[in-house]
A = this chain, B = another copy of it.
Amino acid sequence: MIKAGIVGATGYAGGELVRLLLAHPQVKIVWYGSKSYIEKPYAEVYQNMFKLVPDICRDDNLKEMAGQVDVIFTATPQGFLASLLDEELLHKVKIVDLSADFRIKDVATYEKWYGIKHKAAQFLEEAVYGLPEVNREKVKQARLIANPGCYPTCSFLSIYPLAKAGMIDLSTLIIDAKSGTSGAGRGAKVNNLYCEVNENIKAYGVASHRHTPEIEEQLGYAAAEKVILNFTPHLVPMNRGILITAYASLKKKADGSLPALAEIRQIYETCYEQEYFVRFLPEGSCPQTRWVEGSNFVDVNVQVDGRTGRVIMMGAMDNLVKGAAGQAVQNMNLMFDLEETMGLKLVPMFP
């Protein structure tokens, strides 16, 4: 059995990690870290865990934890892991970091968008961006995983096949994203109160959201060119789910015509046919968050608008699963040479 420690176990992503790892046949959680609830029974914070988790919340002592576990999941604010990481720690345990600390290779970009100093830049090169669908082999070898952001995971997987195939003009790329409220975390803020979120939709972080450079970097690798794009997230009155609607102009073919939908669909089919967690939907069927809730699936589809010459790329995902805890477990499985889908063949729950 793999022994796991979770730092930030009482946030929503941390709670989802607990849900998934409890059902994982090869993992035992031995450390429930939560600075806010030290000494409190975990099942008092999350009463769904009553009779399932007898453990008490403990402090976030990475060094001590490293002596007791095989893998540490850090579901913490930005800067936490970077401020504590050192070679000694990485020597002892594998780490899957759910924060943004090691997602962006360029320190200056990280520091500009996140507004904090990076304190462990020496590990940026080693850290593997944990999107198994593109970095599977690297993940298997990694000691340190930068678990992708929720918006970037869904955005990237929706656009990746066409970016890689060079079918779209990436300078025209616009991503309009919608997220459920669990993505805003469990902090007690007026803006996240029930009455403020319910019966409302709004954009936020317009032209300034931190996930923008992460998406740009990853799409840049896929397309082998620099990508600058618009990314606009919206807050939707629902608990879970992210929906991506992305727009880009199709490159015309040599004869000046647009590629056919069938041709574009074939690119997605080929790209994802081996991927268990990416479901490329039948023609005409729009991804919807309700069909993936509670699961590690990303549902993807694509439509062509012949009038404007654009392709509309869509993706739906559970932000707490494939967008956070599920992907973290998927990475852990690969790092420990387990079946990639182990503990993750969750059937989406509807309604």
Contacts and interface: CB of A to CB of B under 8 A. Distances in A.
Interface of A: 12, 15, 18-19, 22-23, 46-52, 172, 174, 176, 178, 180-182, 186, 188-190, 192-204, 206-207, 228-230, 232, 234, 236-241, 243, 245, 247, 279, 281, 285-295, 299, 303-305, 307-308, 310, 312, 314, 316, 345, 347-351
* Residue from A202, A234, A247, A345 whose CB has the most chain B CB atoms within 10 Å: A202
Contact of A189 (B188, B195, B240, B299): B188
A235 to B, nearest CB: 9
Question: In the assembly, how many copies of this chain are there?
Answer: 4
Contact of A243 (B190, B203, B291): B203
Contact of A206 (B188, B206, B241, B303): B303
Contacts of A192: 193-195
Contacts of A50: 279, 281, 291, 299
A186 B178 contact: no
B46 A350 contact: yes
B181 A195 contact: yes
A347 B19 contact: yes
A178 B234 contact: yes
A288 to B, nearest CB: 4
A180 B195 CA distance: 9
8 contacts: A22-B347, A48-B292, A50-B291, A192-B194, A196-B351, A199-B238, A228-B308, A236-B237
Contacts of A245: 176, 203, 232, 234
Given A178-B234, A193-B188, A228 B172 contact: no
A51 to B, nearest CB: 5
A167 to B, nearest CB: 17
Given A195-B351, A198-B198, A206 B236 contact: no
Given A290-B48, A291-B48, A310-B230, A198 B241 contact: no
A230 B201 contact: no
* Residue from A12, A182, A189, A288 whose CB has the most chain B CB atoms within 10 Å: A288
A310 B247 CA distance: 14
Contacts of A240: 199, 351
Nearest to A202: B288
Given A178-B234, A304-B207, A305-B230, A347 B199 contact: no
A254 to B, nearest CB: 22
A161 to B, nearest CB: 17
Given A181-B195, A198-B351, A203-B243, 7 more contacts: A174-B247, A174-B310, A181-B194, A194-B239, A200-B290, A201-B236, A201-B238
